[in-house]
Amino acid sequence: MQARDVLISEVGPRDGLQNIATIMPTPAKTQWIRALAASGLQEIEIGSFVHPKLLPQMADAEEVARQALQIPELDVLALVPNLKGAERALAVGVRKISIPVSASQSHNMANVRMSCEQSIAAIADICAYRDEQAKNGVRATVEVGIASAFGCSREGIVPEDWVMEMAERLARAGADSIGLSDSVGAANPVQVRRMFGRLRHLLGNRAGGAHLHNTRGQGLANAVAAIEAGVTTLDSSQAGLGGCPYAPGATGNIVTEDLVYLLESMGLDTGIDLGALMQARALLAQALSGENLYGHLADAGVNRGFRYANPGRTRQCPPPGAHQDSCQSLAETCGLASDKDRA
């Protein structure tokens, strides 16, 4: 694996596709995932091993996982809501599973029909299953993201001490990493820095990544705050797909394209090629015609003077003078095309 400063974990094929009306056909999903991986994304959450009746968009999780597992060097991550889901994921060959639990009792109840305590116990069972499997040579990793860690649309303020207590209990339950999710876009940079600082102090290198939503436009400011607090894994979603079913009108996850641009412009290496990432977006736009896609970079393109952190991936922008009167075609000449151009 190439050294990079920040690992961007693409959650679009799971968090994105499960929150829209369109059911993307399996071949389109795998084509999209291949294009995402080709752009340099190291980790992709490819789907959810939830009951197909609950989320028909995720009914093909096995097949999508099988295809994704054939992509060389890609870390294939899948969400599992329970032990049954973990068994399905490991059976197909997935070796990295993420489990959702909410720090808000009522959100957790609505989401997985368990109290927080029941969820922690269920996660302990999944970790025990992981340990059993390890004896057979099947080594899997269990990641937990604490949802509503920064606030809840049902309960309002979620006490930070309770979030930290949950994180500690989840670590004792055996989770390999415990991250924090701003499921409803309630976080602010001060809080993000404080919470991830506490998490790292509490859990050391079992402190996990940040899953941030852009509900109130503050997603990238929170991402920068997370980086400053030492977070090295950030979830994001191509075209900002995803969202919170309990926050209508809210846009979804932070946008992978915009995040990559921001981090690279700050001199941080993401290992991702923006031009190739935009090609993946074009595939998504084709497959999801009619769905809203988000993100600024798709319209604006990169700015002149933009440089990749890793010079090997520097894309040539047009020479001085090529756009004396307008940078209208800058996106295209930099290898970035807007959705309009692709449509």
Q: Which residues are catalytic?
A: 244
335: left (phi over 0), alpha (psi -120 to 50) or beta: left
Binding residue (CB under 8 A) for a second copy from 154, 169, 315, 342? 154
Nearest approach, Cβ of 224 to a second copy (angstroms)?
A: 5
| CB-side neighbour CA atoms (13 Å) of 287 | 23
231 near a second copy, rule: CB under 8 A: no
Q: CA 5 to CA 99: how far, in whole Å?
A: 25
Burial class (CB in 10 A: 0-12, 13-18, 19+), 44: buried
Closer residue to a second copy (CB): 120 or 259: 259
Which residues does residue 234 pair with via DSSP β-bridges, in sequence order? 8, 210
Among 23, 28, 69, 221, binds a second copy (CB under 8 A): 221
CB 64, min distance to a second copy, A = 29
Residue 105 near a second copy by CB under 8 A: no
**Two tokens at 122?**
């269920």
Specify which residues 235 forms β-bridges with.
Answer: 9, 211
Burial class of residue 222 in the structure, from the number of CB atoms within 10 Å of its CB (0-12 exposed, 13-18 middle, 19+ buried): buried
Closest among 234, 35, 225 to 145, alpha carbons compared: 234
Position 114 contacts a second copy (CB under 8 A): no
Identify the residue among 51, 296, 315, 342 touching a second copy (CB under 8 A).
296
* Residue 19 found at the interface with a second copy (CB under 8 A): no
Which residue number, 217 or 290, has a Cβ lying nearer to a second copy? 217
Q: Which of 200, 216, 315, 342 binds a second copy (CB under 8 A)?
A: 216
| Site residues, a second copy (CB under 8 A) | 106, 151-158, 184-186, 188-191, 214-218, 220-221, 223-225, 246-251, 255, 258, 261-262, 265-267, 295-297, 299-306, 317, 320, 323-328, 330-331, 338
